[in-house]
Amino acid sequence: MALIVQKYGGTSVGSVDRILNVAQRIKKTCEAGNQVVAVVSAMGGVTDKLIGLANEINQNPAERELDVLLATGEQQSIALVSMALHSLGIDAVSCTGRQAGVVTIGSHTKGKIDKIEANYVKDNLNAGRVVIVAGFQGVREDGLIHTLGRGGSDLSAIAIAHAVGADLCQILTDVDGVYTCDPRVVKDAKKINTISYDEMLELASSGAKVMQSRSVEFASKYGVVFEVRSSLNDNPGTIVCAENDSMETVVIRGVSIERNQARITVTGIPDKPGNSAQIFTALSEAEVNVDMIVSNNTHEGLARHSFTVSDSDLAKALASIQGLLPDISSEAEVLTEAGMAKLSVVGIGMKSHSGVAAKMFDVLGKAGINIGLITTSEIKISVSLDAAKADLAANVIHEAFDLKS
């Protein structure tokens, strides 16, 4: 008998029919001889609706009350899923975050899981029940209700799988798994069977958002192996686990695109300590998230910094830098270019294969695609390029690295 934690997201419990479908899946898993803990999200759209309501009532709602309000979304789902199981003759109980022993720390609406005291969950499993746990919520030591940040049910599921010592954690969602590229962009993109935590994180940070990154980091830290699969069919999904030697035989695991990027270049910066700090401090004070950063000394002691920000932050970023320029130097100038995208190739195989960057740039060059900035990590190469060329770039790279086979 295996103990399986299944997480059902908002889409998977988004309607009466979907909830009945979830109950059928849980029933099937039980009938195959397994114990099941199901962690569920609020029905799709409910959390957004609750936030909307709060903002209609008060433009600046207290976060303590937001937590109380938002936690009700998941509370509806657990009761409904439990009732659906009862109607199928399955013994099931719902559990709020508090009942599941999810103890959190941190500020309201941004809770972090500190520990899980899962006795109540375990007792119910031992009594032969299915346990349905509310994702996205916990309770602080002082007893206040806490939510874990948007998309936080993934984290709840991974942490509960760890706490109960599950044999398997399944993240059931509306996609079949993690793909070599977005299938809407590359039509022969392929579902990846196994991917390492690090690759999954790098893909997510470059735009392929299947799951909340924080939950992948948690899984990596505690070695929780999980599978991302569809709640709407029985296709096997993608297993996410620690890297092993055989994974390195594949050079590139996937390609991802992040759109709506802009490039900012500041030139004529005197090459002396503190100037970079001044620029990036101003950006951080303006709450601009900076992504790729490339710097270079040009000539005569002047440096140039180029970096990317999201298109929506461009005006803010530009204003904060322009305010600084007179302080920096009379020769300093700032140039911007909107309408860019970031394309990344990710794979731990890069550690043991040389020439990946050369091949990537060659393929892009031959397709007539100009590369802007380039940044790399041990397992990722990212380039910025004209957004209009991003789909073509993804397709030629997918083909060149033979990701479809």
Q: Which stretch binds ligand ASP (CB under 6 A): 57-65, 146-154, 161-169, 174-182?
A: 146-154
Among 4, 5, 6, 10, binds Mg ion (CB under 5 A): 10
150 binds, among ligand ASP, Mg ion, none (CB under 5 to 8 A by kind): ligand ASP
Is 137 a binding residue for ligand ASP by CB under 6 A? The answer is no
- Strand stretches in 41-152, DSSP E: 92-95, 102-105, 112-116, 130-134, 137-140, 145-147
- Contact between 10 and ligand ASP by CB under 6 A: the answer reads yes
State how far the Cα of 293 lies from the Cα of 307, in Å rounded to an integer: 4
Positions in 16-55 near Mg ion (CB under 5 A):
41
Which residue pairs, CB below 8 angstroms and at least 24 apart, start in 61-69? 63/107, 63/108, 63/109, 64/108, 64/144, 66/108, 66/109, 66/147, 67/108, 67/109, 67/111, 67/137, 67/144, 67/145, 67/146, 67/147, 68/145
HSE-up (13 A, CA, CB side) for residue 161: 29
Rg (Cα) of the chain, in Å, rounded? 24
Name the closest residue to ligand ASP (Cβ): 153
41 scored as a contact of ligand ASP (CB under 6 A): yes
The distance of closest approach from Cβ of residue 148 to Mg ion in the complex, given in angstroms and rounded to an integer, is: 11
Does 151 engage in binding with ligand ASP (CB under 6 A)?
Answer: yes
Q: Is the CB of 151 or the CB of 254 nearer to Mg ion?
A: 151
* Binding region for ligand ASP (CB under 6 A) out of 145-153, 201-209, 320-328, 345-353: 145-153
Question: Which residues are registered as beta bridge partners of 340?
Answer: 261, 386
Residue 140 or 150 with smaller CB distance to Mg ion = 150
- CA 124 → CA 80, 89, 162, 381, distances in Å? 18, 16, 17, 48
Distant-in-sequence, close-in-space partners of 37: CB < 8 Å, separation ≥ 6: 3, 4, 5, 6, 121, 125, 130, 131, 132, 133, 160, 161, 164, 166
* Segment interacting with ligand ASP, rule: CB under 6 A, options 144-152, 281-289, 304-312, 322-330: 144-152
Per the CB < 8 A criterion, the answer to whether 209 and 262 are in contact is no
Q: Which among ligand ASP, Mg ion, none contacts residue 135 (Cβ within 5 to 8 A by kind)?
A: ligand ASP
The reply to whether 9 sits near Mg ion by the rule CB under 5 A is: yes
Number of residues that bind ligand ASP (CB under 6 A): 12
Q: Which string of b and e fits 7-40 if b means at least 16 CB within 10 Å?
A: bbbbbbbbeeebbbbbbebbbebbeeebbbbbbb
Strand segments (E) across 185-284: 194-196, 226-230, 238-241, 254-270
Least distance (Å) from ligand ASP to the CB of residue 387? 28
154/258 with CB nearer Mg ion = 154
Q: Which does 47 bind (CB under 5 to 8 A by kind): ligand ASP, Mg ion, none?
A: ligand ASP
- Site for Mg ion contains 14 (CB under 5 A): no
Which one of 40-48, 186-194, 213-221, 331-339 is the stretch in contact with ligand ASP (CB under 6 A)? 40-48
Nearer to ligand ASP, 81 or 379 (CB): 81
Q: Is 218 in the site for ligand ASP (CB under 6 A)?
A: no
Q: Which of residues 61-90 bind ligand ASP (CB under 6 A)?
A: 73
Chain contacts with Mg ion (rule: CB under 5 A): 9-10, 41
Chain contacts with ligand ASP (rule: CB under 6 A): 9-10, 41-42, 47, 73, 135-136, 150-153
